[in-house]
Amino acid sequence: MPEENSLGGLAKRWWKAKKTELLTGNQREREYAEAQAGNAQRDLGDKVASDLTFAAVPSLRRWKDNQDAAAARREADARAEILALPLFQLQLQVSGAVTGSASGPVHVRVEPPETDLDETDLDEADLDEADLDEGEQPELRVAIEVPEDGEGAPLVGGQPLLRLCFAIEGYHGPGSYDLGAQDDPDPLDYECDLGNRDEGYFWSPEIGPGQVTVGADERSFDVRLTMSGAAGEITLTAHLDAV
């Protein structure tokens, strides 16, 4: 049996739709079949043009195969990197444009401030002597990450949580931080992707309050954000605890 996207498969799909278009007495079926036949004909033309091009220029086929293999390797490497990240137990509540809750293990990337200090002893006194560029504030970054294929993504209101990230500018160790007190925070540092990665929800002080509490051992985080996206606003409350 020909594969669906092979020349034989595309031709079979076109003929099946065309036959329905010509023989059916139902107007809605005819209109649907006509559209399906048109799509199959376009795909068939694209496939023929592509195959003829690769047949005429073998080096182009080899180049495309190499590009496809390199892309597959990059995807596999990125997936392995995410799955190697530490596991945290997540408890999440979302309300607003999306309503739901989720709990379970997630892979989390924690990036401590880039200083010469011992990451386990970041207090205010030490930060005054840290090797930072003039005007630069130490920053802690935390992100829940999920492989491109969505494996292991918690479901929130029926939608997979594909990414959640936040940052603390002026980080000086465990405690509570009012994110609105930061100097011009970047909304891209506060993102929640629900359902897809193209239209996420973002936080900024203009949208609403934002707060993060870092546990005494710096292995737990409580986050509350009011975020906005194309679908509307959400209020998100999350607790992360290292496993």
* pLDDT tens digits, 89-141: 999 999 999 999 999 999 999 999 976 545 455 455 454 444 445 556 799 99
In total, the chain counts a number of residues equal to 243
Mean pLDDT over 50-68 rounds to: 67
Render the burial of 179-194: b for 16+ CB within 10 Å, e for the rest. beebeebebebbbbbb
Q: How high is the pLDDT of residue 125?
A: 46
Tokens of 149: 């294929």
Alpha-carbon distance of 198 to 184, in angstroms, equals 24
> What is the pairing mode between strands 175-178 and 201-202?
unpaired
Q: How high is the pLDDT of residue 132?
A: 47
| For the chain, domain boundaries | 7-56, 83-242
- Whether pLDDT at 82 is above 80: yes
Q: Which residue has the higher pLDDT, 203 or 51?
A: 203
For residue 50, what pLDDT band results from cuts at 50, 70 and 90? Answer: low
Q: Is the pTM of this model over 0.75?
A: no
Does residue 55 sit in helix, strand or coil?
helix
Q: What is the largest CA-CA distance in the chain?
A: 83
